[in-house]
């Protein structure tokens, strides 16, 4: 059974810098929460404070009402924390998994069967007798996770579990991790800077920017309705362009129509658009932002086109096109429009909004609840 | 009359082993405490330990002799010109060495290891034992260094023990005495025997090191 993890008024300072400031966080038993943030956003700090391996400057972390902050062994043993860089012991993979179980006075035979099961779940059963430190980075990360999963903790805290893996290994690893956790009631909090990890593993996501929570919701909500330009950048929007919304809802960049609309708002805004949502305007299309093709490069299955928008105050644009599409040569001028399904318009009030105070999104109380 | 070399050797070995045992326990404990202490608090202590590693043996011998002298502050203990007094002096010399090597050994471990062990649910004793196991080879080197110092030390043994025949004379002080008498053959014999014992003890420790590794890996 997962535990109810709570944090209250957490503030942390490192090197004289305010690295984390969090009002209130409650993670319900069995829920899967992802803390999404760029490097240096305070994700690891938050996880370490939740794990009790570091004390906050101010505030309290508790598990089912028992203080984790400076707590004893009993409460720490209900939480398993895996660091981003696996710290494995100089023994076999199996012993690495068994040892924390032995510390909990689990009988030797039971230790072995739990360790074997955890190693199998992470698909490294065949490496059980190998020296853990001689394994590859990906295999070591799997041992690291098997060690945590074998403990069947009430709370599992994962720090960028797939960070050190290449794209192919990461996909397989995340599948295996998801499978290993699938039938467990463990409360899982994991931090990542990749939104795709959040989508795979979490039912709730916190967008953490500069040590402060900017948005809470499902991964899909954050992607489709980011509340600010910072969150839009975090969830992977490649382009953020200053725009203006007319009273009829038409979204303009400069004085040019983009093909996007936003009802119920008039005034300055930003357009966030994925690179694959930028498309050359069709012949005869009235909308279209004029841009010069600065650079064209070939990626796996697509063209990446760098555009310089020919309007005052507008930044460059990135566009990706399927590899079969004809691409305008470098130096030529094109007109581009934005695919509404791959774009979002952020009113300026949202784009410039400060993280305090934030409206609390309507969340399923059975999963996670966060307020500031 | 010359005392049988075996008696002097037995005395030397006993003093060195007692010194190694006491300095090992003290040095490894202190080194561990320093390695796990908060960074801000340990700087001065580390500086003291580092200074202690370079203590001149005759200065320590003189200081201990003054303390243990019959009219000195610890004179009532009756340790001057005894093997126990020699052990006290050598422990003072060997402990900073063992502490320093232990500290260096534990600081060689991954910086995140202690917190990872805590996060996996280790209590304080389990954490320390695991860290020792992780640094076992270097810790045995620390113990070997302590033994090496004790078995070869002459200045403090001479001053505190007094090199009394049949009582406090150890191999090193016996070598000094025979050389001063011009008996170089005897001195060389003593030296060879001393080297043999040092080799034997270190071989046993090296074997323990290897066994320890396989046990930890198993």
Q: Where are the domains of chain B?
A: 5-217
Burial zone of A316 (CB within 10 Å; 0-12 exposed, 13-18 middle, 19+ buried): middle
- Residue A314: its pLDDT value, please? 66
Average pLDDT over residues B156-168: 92
CA-closest candidate to residue A40, choices A297, A212, A171, A201? A212
The class of domain A5-226+354-371 in CATH terms is: alpha beta
- Report domain extents, chain A: 5-226+354-371, 239-348
What sections of A225-266 are H helices per DSSP? 229-234
Length of chain B counted residue by residue = 218
Is there a contact between B121 and A76 if contact means CB atoms under 8 Å apart? yes
Mean pLDDT, chain B, integer:
89
Closest residue in A to B131 (Cα–Cα) = A89
Q: Of B119, B123, B218, which has the smallest distance from its Cβ to A51's Cβ?
A: B119
Helices A108-121, A93-103: axis angle to 10 degrees equals 130
CA-closest candidate to residue B55, choices B23, B32, B80, B13? B23
- Residue B43: its pLDDT value, please? 82
Contact A319, A274 (CB under 8 A): no
Q: Of B112, B120, B217, which has the smallest distance from its Cβ to A91's Cβ?
A: B217
Contact A34, A217 (CB under 8 A): no
**Residue B42 above 80 pLDDT?**
no
- Residue A349: its pLDDT value, please? 66
Kindly give the parts of chain A with pLDDT less than 70. Answer: 1-2, 313-314, 349-372
For residue B77, give the 3-state DSSP assignment.
Answer: helix
Average pLDDT over residues B33-43: 81
- Residue A177: its pLDDT value, please? 81
Residue where the block lists tokens 């004809």? A326
Is there a contact between B126 and A103 if contact means CB atoms under 8 Å apart? yes
The class of domain B5-217 in CATH terms is: mainly alpha
Interface of A with B (CB under 8 A): 48, 51-54, 73, 76-77, 79-83, 85, 87, 89-92, 95, 99-100, 103-104, 131, 147-148, 151
Q: Between the ranges A12-26, B7-21, B201-215, where is the mean pLDDT highest?
A: B7-21
**Residue B1 above 70 pLDDT?**
no
What sections of B56-135 are H helices per DSSP? 57-68, 83-107, 113-119, 124-134
Is there a contact between A89 and B110 if contact means CB atoms under 8 Å apart? no
B40 lies within 8 A of chain A by CB:
no
Average pLDDT over residues B183-207: 88
Q: Of A54, A103, A131, which has the smallest distance from its Cβ to B121's Cβ?
A: A103
- Residue A350: its pLDDT value, please? 54
Contacts of B109 in chain A (CB under 8 A): none
C-alpha span between B27 and B101 (Å, rounded): 9
Q: How is residue B12 written in tokens? A: 């030397």
Q: Of A83, A92, A103, which has the smallest distance from its Cβ to B116's Cβ?
A: A83
More confident residue, B90 or A201: B90
C-alpha span between B190 and B168 (Å, rounded): 16
């Amino acid at each position: 059974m997962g535990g109810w993890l709570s944090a209250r008024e957490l503030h942390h300072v490192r090197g004289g810098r305010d690295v984390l400031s969090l009002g209130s966080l409650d993670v319900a038993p069995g829920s899967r929460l992802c803390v999404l943030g760029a490097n240096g956003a305070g994700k690891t700090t938050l996880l370490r404070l939740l794990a009790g391996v570091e004390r906050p400057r101010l505030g309290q972390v508790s598990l089912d009402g028992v203080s984790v902050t400076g707590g004893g062994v009993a409460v720490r043993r209900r939480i398993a924390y895996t660091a981003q860089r696996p710290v494995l012991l100089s023994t076999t993979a199996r012993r690495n998994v068994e040892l924390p179980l032995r510390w909990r006075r689990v009988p030797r035979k039971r230790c072995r069967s739990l360790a074997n099961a955890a190693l199998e779940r992470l698909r490294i059963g065949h490496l059980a007798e190998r020296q853990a430190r001689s394994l590859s980075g990906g295999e070591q990360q799997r041992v690291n996770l098997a060690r945590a999963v074998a403990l069947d903790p009430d709370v599992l805290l994962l720090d960028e579990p797939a960070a050190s893996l290449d794209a192919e290994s990461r996909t397989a690893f995340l599948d295996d991790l998801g499978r290993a956790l699938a039938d467990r009631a463990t409360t899982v909090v994991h931090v990542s800077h990749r939104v795709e990890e959040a989508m795979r593993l979490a039912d709730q996501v916190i967008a953490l920017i500069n040590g402060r929570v900017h948005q809470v919701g499902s991964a899909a909500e954050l992607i489709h309705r980011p509340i600010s330009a910072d969150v839009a950048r975090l969830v992977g929007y490649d382009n953020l362009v200053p725009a203006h919304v007319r009273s009829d809802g038409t979204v303009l960049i400069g004085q040019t129509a983009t093909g996007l609309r936003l009802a119920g708002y008039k005034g300055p805004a930003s357009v966030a658009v994925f690179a694959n949502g930028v498309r050359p305007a069709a012949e005869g299309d009235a909308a279209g932002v004029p841009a010069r093709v600065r650079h064209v490069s070939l990626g796996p299955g697509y063209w990446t086109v760098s555009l310089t928008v020919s309007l005052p105050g507008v930044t460059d644009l990135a566009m990706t096109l399927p590899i079969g599409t004809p691409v305008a040569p470098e130096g030529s001028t094109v007109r581009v429009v934005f695919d509404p399904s791959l774009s979002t318009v952020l009113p300026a009030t949202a784009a410039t909004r400060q993280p305090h105070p934030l409206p609390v999104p309507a969340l399923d109380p059975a999963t996670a609840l966060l307020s500031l | 009359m010359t005392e049988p070399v075996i008696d002097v050797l037995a005395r030397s070995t006993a003093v060195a082993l007692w010194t190694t045992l006491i300095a090992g326990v003290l040095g490894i404990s202190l080194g561990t405490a320093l390695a796990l202490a908060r960074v801000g608090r340990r700087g001065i202590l580390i500086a003291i330990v580092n200074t202690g590693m370079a203590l001149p043996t005759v200065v320590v011998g003189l200081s201990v002799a003054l303390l243990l002298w019959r009219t000195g502050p610890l004179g009532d203990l009756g340790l001057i010109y005894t093997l126990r007094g020699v052990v006290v002096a050598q422990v003072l010399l060997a402990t900073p060495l063992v502490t320093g090597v232990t500290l260096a050994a534990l600081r060689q471990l991954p910086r995140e290891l202690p917190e990872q062990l805590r996060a996996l649910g280790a209590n304080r004793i389990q954490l320390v034992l695991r860290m020792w196991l992780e640094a076992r080879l270097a810790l045995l080197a620390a113990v070997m260094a302590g033994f090496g110092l004790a078995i070869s030390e002459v200045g403090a043994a001479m001053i505190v023990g007094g090199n009394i025949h049949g009582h406090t004379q150890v191999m090193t002080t016996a070598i000094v005495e025979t050389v001063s008498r011009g008996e170089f053959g005897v001195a060389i014999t003593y030296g060879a025997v001393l080297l043999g014992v040092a080799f034997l003890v270190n071989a046993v420790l090296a074997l323990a090191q290897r066994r320890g590794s396989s046990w930890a890996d198993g």
